[in-house]
Amino acid sequence: MHYSEELWKQTCEEASRLRSEIKALNKARAELTAPAEKEAAKQKARALQQRYDEIIRQYNELKAYRQWAQSAGRELLYVND
């Protein structure tokens, strides 16, 4: 995966959006009474959760790379002095 600041921002925004969608869907699902509607909402929530898990994995990879790059950048500053 290639790191970029834009990719980092997009990943953070998508994770936040998905987290909000999952929360809203689960809240709405609790109010449903029909079994078919509940099952459909449950399947949608499951799909959103899988996508969220993928985004969080990507977020963690980008975060680790970002921290490493910042650390390496600081080390280069001290080496060049």
How many H helices and E strands in the chain?
Answer: 2, 0
For the chain, the domain total comes to 1
* Lowest-confidence segment of 21-25, 61-65, 71-75 by average pLDDT: 71-75
The pTM of this model reads 0.78
What crossing angle do the helices spanning 5-31 and 35-80 adopt, rounded to 10°?
160
pLDDT at residue 81, as a whole number: 46
Q: What is the pLDDT of residues 32-47, one digit of tens each?
A: 889 999 899 999 999 9
Give the pLDDT of residue 32.
Answer: 87
pLDDT digits (tens, 9 = 90+) for 7-28: 989 999 999 999 999 999 989 9
User: 58 lies in which domain range?
Assistant: 5-80
User: What letter does residue 78 receive in the DSSP assignment?
Assistant: H
